């Protein structure tokens, strides 16, 4: 009997981390240009923030940063959140605020583009 209760509770907990009916994922591209003088420090700060977000926030599904090969001061981050609420929680998290406040002087431009996935049910492997 106890095993059934534990299994049920674990199943309920696992389901609470998935996107529920009526919720839609939020997908965004963050296009950033960094001052070249700060590029190594910026990369370190972003790496720390991305790792913490992925490890600590179930609603953060992807933070995938890519740097332009021809101009490494330009990067794009593919951000996927389980819901708008998950995004709002993310931007209030201590690790995000540390990154944001610590890199403000490093960022020359920031463009946030909300996008719609062609096939949102496909997962990144």
CA distances from 112 to 16, 31, 50 (A): 28, 6, 17
- Tell me the domains of the chain and their CATH numbers: 23-115 (3.30.70.100)
Report how far residue 47's alpha carbon sits from residue 27's, in angstroms, rounded to the nearest whole number: 20
Question: 26-34 and 74-81: which strand pairing?
Answer: antiparallel
Per-residue pLDDT tens digits for 60-84: 999 999 999 999 999 999 999 999 9
Q: Which of 34, 27, 10, 56 is nearest to 115 (CA)?
A: 27
Task: Kindly report whether the global pTM for this prediction surpasses the value 0.85.
Answer: no
Per-residue pLDDT tens digits for 24-49: 899 999 999 999 999 999 999 999 99
């Amino acid at each position: 009997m106890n095993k059934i209760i534990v299994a049920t509770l674990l199943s309920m907990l696992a389901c609470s981390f998935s996107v529920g009916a009526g919720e839609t994922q939020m997908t965004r591209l963050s296009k950033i240009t960094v001052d070249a003088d700060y590029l190594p420090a910026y990369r370190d700060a972003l790496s720390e923030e991305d790792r913490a977000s992925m490890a600590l926030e179930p609603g953060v599904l992807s933070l995938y940063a890519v740097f332009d090969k021809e101009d490494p001061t330009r990067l794009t981050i593919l951000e996927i959140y389980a819901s708008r609420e998950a995004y709002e929680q993310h931007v209030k998290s201590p690790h995000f605020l540390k990154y944001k406040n610590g890199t403000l002087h490093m960022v020359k431009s920031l463009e946030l583009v909300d996008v719609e996935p062609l096939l949102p049910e496909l997962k990144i492997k």
